[in-house]
Amino acid sequence: MKIIRYLANKSIKAGLLLEESYIINFDDLDVSNDNNLTKHDLYVLKNNLYNVEPLFLISLVKKNVFKIPDDIDKNNTLNINDVELLSPITKPNSFRDAYSFKQHVEAGRKARNLPMIKEFDINPVYYYSNHSSISGPGNIYLNKIHLNKLDFELELSIIIGKEGKNIPVNEADDFIFGFMILNDWSARDVQVNEMKLNLGPAKGKDFSTTIGPYLVTKDELKHKTTLSNKGNVYDLGMRAYINDKKVSSDTSKNMYWTFAEIISHISKGTTLYPGDLIGSGTCATGCLYEINLTNKTDKWLQIDDLVRLEIDELGALENKIKLENNNE
């Protein structure tokens, strides 16, 4: 299932993407009434609140509430090219970003003649970012303080589908509801200065994160999944383009830490909830910071640059960089 949110005829709607092109609105689907629906579920369905708050869809989809017909009349659907795509998730409960691609870390360290950080192999570290600065495809409007050395980050992300605490690795994949592309926009000059204080990224990363273009449920990726003793390994090609020029390429199977291991580590002594967002961290070659270090260049994103991130089975997330109108 590919869950999509969009703006059409001045209304925000949630629906399903079929055959990569056709959208069927959840409002137009028949609903099953024999799925142990809670009063909250019934209230959401009665008032179509999933259009406004897509996190409500997690419970409904998991209970197979919506009946998807075998034959879709395409004349009663919208084309994805005729709508404005929105973020699949408006405001996740929380946003943690991990550090799981070892090749990315090694390349940056090697370019600076630094040894690899041995602690990388102990646990999958992560940091909290701003879950209120999430948006989807389209223009992103940034403050001038973030535009001196602006960077993208190509990441795979997951949405948690059920509550859990102290989750074993061999059970952790069951807590994944779905996957999205994630761009962790970064102001590198701001970030570098902040990191000198050993407190982690703050203003260098909290201003914008984009996700999308749709939320793909885990069952859609069975043919791209291999089971290992570290949990599921997902083999999804990852690519980044700037103004249609390819600059990055990797695959999610190169994650040193699997999402199962990341989920298990995060949940130690801490409860994860449906709607929590977790990023994989930047893949190899997945940002200009690494590319600049490797190639000894100093190229950064500029106003009106178009950044396109692609991940197999998850679509393409496009954002154009714009300057805020209220800059002083």
Residue 159 predicted with pLDDT over 50 = yes
Give the pLDDT band of residue 150 (cuts 50, 70, 90): very high
How buried is residue 113: exposed, middle or buried, by Cβ count under 10 Å (0-12/13-18/19+)? exposed
Q: How many residues does the chain have?
A: 328
pTM score, whole prediction: 0.95
Q: Does 73 have pLDDT greater than 90?
A: no
For residue 195, the model assigns a pLDDT of 85
Residue 34: its pLDDT value, please? 66
Nearest to 179 by CA among 89, 103, 282: 89
Look at residue 72 in the predicted model and tell me its pLDDT.
80
157-170 burial, b at 16+ Cβ within 10 Å, e below that, comes to bbbbbeebeebebe
- What is the overall mean pLDDT for the chain? 93
* Confidence grade of residue 134 (pLDDT, cut at 50, 70, 90): very high
CA distance 291 to 171: 36
Residue type, 319: N
Q: What is the pLDDT of residues 204-262, one digit of tens each?
A: 999 999 999 999 999 999 999 999 999 999 999 999 999 999 999 999 999 999 999 99
- Where helices occur in 214-307 by DSSP H, the ranges are 259-266, 288-295
Q: What is the pLDDT of residue 328?
A: 46
Q: Is 177 helix (H, G, I), strand (E, B) or coil?
A: strand
Tokens of 188: 């590198």
Task: Report CA-CA distances (Å) from 177 to 43, 60, 249, 310.
Answer: 22, 12, 26, 20
Domains parsed from the chain with CATH numbers: 2-86 (no CATH), 95-323 (3.90.850.10)
On the CB side of 116, CA atoms within 13 Å amount to: 12
Q: Which two tokens stand for residue 74?
A: 């395409």
pLDDT at residue 179 above 80?
yes
Scanning the structure block, which residue is given the tokens 């919506």? 66
Residue 186 near residue 144 (C-beta atoms within 8 A): no
CB of 150 within 8 A of CB of 301? yes
Say yes or no to pLDDT of 172 above 80. Answer: yes
Q: Is the pLDDT of residue 39 over 80?
A: yes
Q: What percent of the chain has pLDDT over 70?
A: 98
In terms of Cα–Cα distance, which of 48, 14, 17 is closest to 31?
48
DSSP string, 261-286: HHHHHHTTTSEE-TT-EEE--PPTT-
38-58 mean pLDDT: 90
Report the pLDDT averaged over residues 118-135: 94
